[in-house]
Chains A and B, each alone.
Chain A
Amino acid sequence: MTDLRELFETASAGAPPTTRIDPYEAVRASRARTRSLRHRWLAGGVTAALVLGMGAVLVPRLRSPMAGEQAPATTWSGRGFDATSVDCSNQGDLLMKAGHLPEDFGTIRAAYRCAVVDREVPGDGVWQYQVVRAVTGELQQLQQVLEEPDAAPTSGSCTAEFDIGPPIWVVGTKDAALVRVPLDECGHALGSAVEVVDGLPMKKVSAQRLQQVESQTAVDSGCSQDFKDLLRIEASTGYGRPGTTPPRLDEGRGWTVCRYRAVTQDQVGSLASADRLSTAQVAAINAALAGSRGDDTCRRDDHSRFATITDGNDWLDVALDGCAVQQGSTWWRAPAELRRMLTR
């Protein structure tokens, strides 16, 4: 007799090593992920990884050919430097502009860090903020760290992570510069230097709203702010088949209808409204669904609005101004009554 748990134990034993699960990268990705990137994560994962600097590629390769490691730091006049001019909203831009502290920079008199974070705003959903913090002490220690040279490139194998560590805006007696910490022989941020920078005393000097990440409707309902329009996607891929028996919602579960404005060219809808459904409403929807008929001609992409009824595990999609209702990979012609009930 074999216990199922023992089978699971055996099956999952002997995991191969991995470098792809990285809590630090998760922090960075969580902070940097923009609305559009968040919902195109799977499709555009490679692109996002390169742009956002979280591209830990499994295949070992030579030292990363990262532009930032060779490029000089971007500098400008330090006279009248305004901390509110610090801009880290474009992570990819920072990767290209941050360089090693210039040799003739002189004494660092002020330093700033910048991060993009998500914050809930009561009654207004979740917003992305750019937060600038000033280093309030230990500038001499920071200078010592930043003056250390980059390590000589290795001819050995390295993982192709484009990781330059935290960008730092430093202000000297004459100039200001956007710099990074020294790099190791693989072109990665030197861990000991990052630790020093992360340990510096800081004080927030500004917080600027960038964009709304989730609406209050999304927060309250649990619906995703943006959602893949599977009706449109699968109409284009030819996936699925017409149904024989009508779809049905389990009336013992809690359902929410999320209504989306279709449809951008990347086949993602934007949340317009949402409602949690009562048991009576679910029963009424089931009554309407009973009139659904398998119809492959409804596999179309000419709708401009769609609704997703979900309990978090199952989804039933309806084209509100179109033809189809879809559950799983099966299509039906949606009764007009169903569309009327779901339209707000």
Chain B
Amino acid sequence: MAEHPEADDSGFVEWATVRRSALRRTAFLLCGDWSAADDLVQEALIRVHRRWRRVATGNPDAYARRALTSVYVDQTRRPWRRESPTDVLPERAHHDEVATDGGLLAALAQVPPRQRAVLVLRFWEDLSIEQTAQALGCSTGNVKSQSARGLARLRELLPADELTYHAEVVK
């Protein structure tokens, strides 16, 4: 029987083409840099493709989110990608900057990677606590605690009265 050489990739390219923009925005919110976001997404796509036969029949979006956050968190522990440690935090974002992207990104940059990943998945991807736990491969309790800590950190950096979120996260 004739066999198409790309048979194993059935649907991958189409799926990736449709989803790459959304993944790119999520990646950008995770790492705060469009160039690095491109690298994150491309690496995540490679990981998705490696498991495509398995994930294609399930939920490739969920697997892609997991791959994306895994790549992101993994990179933060590699010395050549780590930010230099510092005892002195930058000044708080000025109130006038809060509504701009720069204000949020500056604040997010000071949130630890896993907490940041939880915030992005919960409030950008609109994942439930259970879905976020699945995406990050951790417990729901861990998601709640990371959410609470991440939001607390954001509140330190952004005016609390200008930041709302779903209260269920910190229960």
Contacts and interface: CB of A to CB of B under 8 A. Distances in A.
Interface string B75-91: 10111111001000000
A15 B101 contact: no
A311 B79 contact: no
B105 interface: yes
Contacts, number: 154
A312 interface: yes
Interface stretch (A24-32, A91-99, A180-188): A24-32
A203 interface: yes
A264 interface: no
Given A3-B165, A30-B50, A313-B138, A15 B98 contact: no
Interface string A28-69: 011001000000011101000000000000100000000000
Contacts of A237: 79
B39 A5 contact: no
B6 A198 contact: yes
A121 to B, nearest CB: 14
Interface size class, chain B: 35 or more
A1 interface: yes
B29 A12 contact: yes
Given A21-B20, A27-B49, A329-B85, A4 B165 contact: yes
Given A21-B24, A42-B75, A8 B45 contact: no
A2 interface: yes
Interface in B135-155: 136-139, 141-142, 154
A3 B164 contact: yes
Contacts of B120: 8
A116 to B, nearest CB: 12
Interface size class, chain A: 35 or more
Interface stretch (A151-159, A228-236, A270-278, A289-297): A228-236
B164 A15 contact: no
Interface string B120-145: 10011010000000001111011000
B77 A230 contact: yes
A203 B1 contact: yes
A1 B47 CA distance: 39
A160 B161 CA distance: 49
B162 interface: yes
A145 interface: no
Contacts of A340: none
Contact of B5 (A25, A30, A133): A133
Contacts of B99: 2, 7, 10
A201 B42 contact: no
B95 to A, nearest CB: 12
Contact of B38 (A3, A7, A20): A20
A16 interface: yes
A204 interface: yes
Contact of B2 (A5, A33, A201): A201
A27 B79 contact: no
Nearest to A115: B5
13 contacts: A4-B123, A12-B25, A15-B24, A21-B20, A21-B42, A115-B5, A137-B2, A204-B3, A234-B79, A239-B79, A313-B136, A328-B77, A329-B85
Interface of A: 1-5, 7-8, 10-13, 15-16, 18, 20-27, 29-30, 33, 41-43, 45, 58, 113, 115, 117-118, 133, 136-137, 166, 198-199, 201-204, 228, 230, 233-234, 237, 239, 250, 252-254, 311-315, 328-329
Given A5-B123, A253-B139, A312-B136, 12 more contacts: A1-B162, A8-B104, A10-B99, A11-B28, A11-B101, A15-B28, A16-B34, A21-B41, A45-B39, A137-B2, A198-B4, A312-B137
